[in-house]
Structure 1
Amino acid sequence: MRLICTLTTVALVPLGAPGHHSTGGFYDTGTTIEITGAVTEVFWRNPHVGLTLEVVDDAGETELWEIEGGAWNTVQRRGITPETVAIGDEVRVAGAPGTRGVKAVWASHIQIPGGEEFTLSDRPYPPRWTEASPAPEISAGTVAAAAETANGIFRVWSPSRGFGGGFRPPAPTVEAQALKDQWDQAVDDPGLRCEAPGMPNAILNPYPIQFIDEGDRIRLLIEEWDGNRMIYLDPATTPADPSVDRLGHSVGRWEGNTLVVEIDHVSWPYLDAQGTPMSDAVTMVERFELSDDETRMEYQVTVTDPVYLTAPAAWRRSYSWIPGTEVKPFDCTLRETGRSVYEN
């Protein structure tokens, strides 16, 4: 069967977010291409799903193309299952082409046999070829159970699209900028090795989080990288000599309907996913502000680093309560194809 490769050029929404594990450096995010090919490999895992397509080019030559998409947890919420795509299926894919000499696409859309279309990215793109397939409905029983147990901030929160107002990008010192200029994402990005990031990057991602009431402390579950933070509320039970790790030591207090968390003892080399360095002297202040009807939450984190920043950096975003949404296991798994998208 002859498989045709079709190319088009249009604007594509930029990839990534200020803190989320970024792949934009490996793809031309200002261009969209379309390819059609037969599936030879399927990889439904986090942090990025993947397919290999056998494509016949205009000269009649067969090529292998690597397709990469968003997290498996995200595309499952869009309605994709392990049975959606099978080996041998002919599919159409649209997305950003690779930039490092590898035949690769960061997929925004996929169309499967029968014409059904899905968004394959973490971003909620509009349909490209057809009406988008509806996301699976959460069962009435699951929704009712979530509504029964929700109590103030203690529930699962889903991030709204993008980052809201109040974002202050990092202002690196001369030394920090020099270190950032040496950053090579293909070599230095810990996410490419399934190494979970530290704060604040750990929470700046497009996946659900959950607050669990444990009396004098609050457990905060972060879906990406299976994050598990402890926020201490009572000074009497707060560790006197807290350990130093990637998520730091968190002490919280209530200011009305806002949970304010102060973080120190963070040991992680990077402030963001773009290689901005971060020192052990860094401190952070988070604010989780609950709406009066308890259906929305505004989040802000402000980062102060006297060693590497000339002024505090800040990120802000909104969360919504979608009853029945759950924090899924992330279980980061590397894809071993022997044809790495991320090589120089």
Structure 2
Amino acid sequence: MNRAEILLGLLLLPFAAIGHHSTAEYDRSVVMDFEGEVVRVLWRNPHVRLTIKTQRDDGSEEIWDLESGDVNSLDRRGIRRDLVHVGDTVRVAGNPSTRRELNLSVTNLLLPNGTELLVRGNRQPRWSTDYIGDGDWIIDESKSAEPEGIFRVWTAKGRIIPEFVSNPPLTESARAAYATYDRMVDDPALECIPTGMPRAMTSSGNVHPLEFVRADEDIHIHLEIFDIVRVIHMASDADPEQQPYSSLGYSVGHWEERTLVVTTTRINWPYFDLNPIPLQGVPQSEAVEMVERFTLSEDGNELVYDLTVSDPATFTEPVVAISLITWRWQPGVEVEPYECVVG
């Protein structure tokens, strides 16, 4: 690993950039600040949405659509759905869309009582010393079950950006397809379609935790994002090549001391995505094979994730990401329902 990779990797990506729904269309160099009346509240995943009515200088009305964070992350930071009501006059600040008129990614919202909501996480208050949602999760550690090795709830501590991301070793056909991908149009997650491998794993931890659960002889990985459940077959005699294709594939695991090694084939998810790492839309064939290594730290409180991917239709050589993600055990965190709804 070179120095540039290490420096990039030690930067934990901000919560505002994490998640399945692209925020790339919003111009972060421009901040708009205005007041208006709330005429609609849609409090559901993938993003809480508000509609605000404002007045232009000539007295005519203007209707703005606002998009904030997802329900789960807002709830964990104390921003509940009963704080914003239709009819409230609020002040908002955020970044305008470069594609849609009168559309704003809202970062700050000032309620009529003077309380400021930081609705995009890791943001600073703009107007008030009385604010909610500064990035820290509100956790009841008494809810935490006694941990047993890997079998607990994990959140992300950090991740690296692998060196191959800047220039992935793509085949000619894969590079051509990658060049035409538009993540604001082509991303299936925009329609609340649960993501497949490897994105299901790389999207987990920062905003949406994951949990390893014993299931008889097998292991289930519960991913909060899209309410996904992965099954890791630990003692099956079934031939993987005879299993049906799916977005998550067919996973077979075994233990190497403190490391759970999982080999996954039979994946028909169309994209090799490492979201939120900036590699999204690389085509992926059904010949892909992924080898994951989940290594538990000596004290049991951290889990390091390595990923090796081979796909002869996409890559001219296997791509390897060592220590791609480090998850940590955070007592009291639970995997909550996600329940994504389009619209």
Q: Which residue of 1 aligns with 2:296?
A: 290
Aligned-partner SS, 2:200:
coil
Q: 1:193·1:334 contact (CA, 8 Å) conserved in 2?
A: yes
Normalised by the length of structure 1, the TM-score is: 0.83
**Alpha-carbon distance in 2 for matches of 1:319, 1:310:** 30
Q: Which amino acid aligns with 1:270?
A: Y
Q: For the structure 1 residues 92 and 298, does the alpha-carbon distance in structure 2 shift closer, same or farther, using more than 3 Å as the test?
A: farther
Q: Does 1:46 align with 2:45?
A: yes
Q: Which residue of 2 aligns with 1:261?
A: 262
Output one character per residue of 1:133-165: Cα deviation in whole Å (capped at 9) or x when no partner. 2667434xxx334243x21110111223x6335
**C-alpha displacement at 1:308, in angstroms?**
1.2
Q: Which residue of 2 aligns with 1:181?
A: 179
Aligned-partner SS, 1:202:
helix
Q: For the structure 1 residues 151 and 195, does the alpha-carbon distance in structure 2 shift closer, same or farther, using more than 3 Å as the test?
A: same
Aligned-partner SS, 1:279:
coil
Q: 2:240·2:266 contact (CA, 8 Å) conserved in 1?
A: no
Q: 1:94·1:110 contact (CA, 8 Å) conserved in 2?
A: yes
**Alpha-carbon distance in 1 for matches of 2:281, 2:31:** 26
Q: Which amino acid aligns with 1:254?
A: W
Q: How many residues align?
A: 315
Q: For the structure 1 residues 257 and 129, does the alpha-carbon distance in structure 2 shift closer, same or farther, using more than 3 Å as the test?
A: farther
Query: How does 1:306-325 map onto structure 2 within 5 Å?
Result: 306-314=312-320, 316-325=324-333
Q: For the structure 1 residues 52 and 154, does the alpha-carbon distance in structure 2 shift closer, same or farther, using more than 3 Å as the test?
A: same
**C-alpha displacement at 1:97, in angstroms?**
0.8
Q: Does 1:66 align with 2:74?
A: no
**Alpha-carbon distance in 2 for matches of 1:319, 1:221:** 14
Q: Which residue of 2 aligns with 1:31?
A: 30
Q: For the structure 1 residues 308 and 238, does the alpha-carbon distance in structure 2 shift closer, same or farther, using more than 3 Å as the test?
A: closer
Q: 2:249·2:265 contact (CA, 8 Å) conserved in 1?
A: yes
**C-alpha displacement at 1:107, in angstroms?**
2.0
Q: Which residue of 2 aligns with 1:213?
A: 214
Q: 1:14·1:29 contact (CA, 8 Å) conserved in 2?
A: no
Q: Does 1:305 align with 2:301?
A: no
Output one character per residue of 1:273-329: Cα deviation in whole Å (capped at 9) or x when no partner. 632111111111212222222222222323222111234345512222221211111
**Alpha-carbon distance in 1 for matches of 2:236, 2:15:** 44
**C-alpha displacement at 1:261, in angstroms?**
1.2
**Alpha-carbon distance in 2 for matches of 1:81, 1:41:** 16
Q: Which residue of 2 aligns with 1:155?
A: 152
Aligned-partner SS, 2:332:
coil
Q: For the structure 1 residues 180 and 51, does the alpha-carbon distance in structure 2 shift closer, same or farther, using more than 3 Å as the test?
A: same
Q: For the structure 1 residues 187 and 136, does the alpha-carbon distance in structure 2 shift closer, same or farther, using more than 3 Å as the test?
A: closer
**Alpha-carbon distance in 1 for matches of 2:283, 2:53:** 41
Q: 2:64·2:103 contact (CA, 8 Å) conserved in 1?
A: yes
Q: Which amino acid aligns with 1:158?
A: T
- Structure 1: unaligned runs, 5 residues or longer: 1-12, 336-344
Q: Which residue of 2 aligns with 1:81?
A: 80
The percent identity for this pair of structures is 37
Q: Which residue of 2 aligns with 1:113?
A: 112
- Structure 2: unaligned runs, 5 residues or longer: 1-13
Q: Which residue of 2 aligns with 1:3?
A: none
Query: How does 1:197-236 map onto structure 2 within 5 Å?
Result: 197-205=195-203, 206=206, 207-236=208-237
Q: Which amino acid aligns with 1:153?
A: I
Output one character per residue of 1:102-160: Cα deviation in whole Å (capped at 9) or x when no partner. 21111222222222223322x43344444442667434xxx334243x21110111223
**C-alpha displacement at 1:257, in angstroms?**
1.8
**Alpha-carbon distance in 1 for matches of 2:298, 2:126:** 38
Q: Which residue of 2 aligns with 1:168?
A: 164
**C-alpha displacement at 1:189, in angstroms?**
1.9
**Alpha-carbon distance in 2 for matches of 1:63, 1:90:** 14
**C-alpha displacement at 1:240, in angstroms?**
7.1
Q: For the structure 1 residues 312 and 71, does the alpha-carbon distance in structure 2 shift closer, same or farther, using more than 3 Å as the test?
A: farther
Q: Does 1:333 align with 2:329?
A: no
Question: 1:146 pairs with 125, 144, 147, which one?
Answer: 144
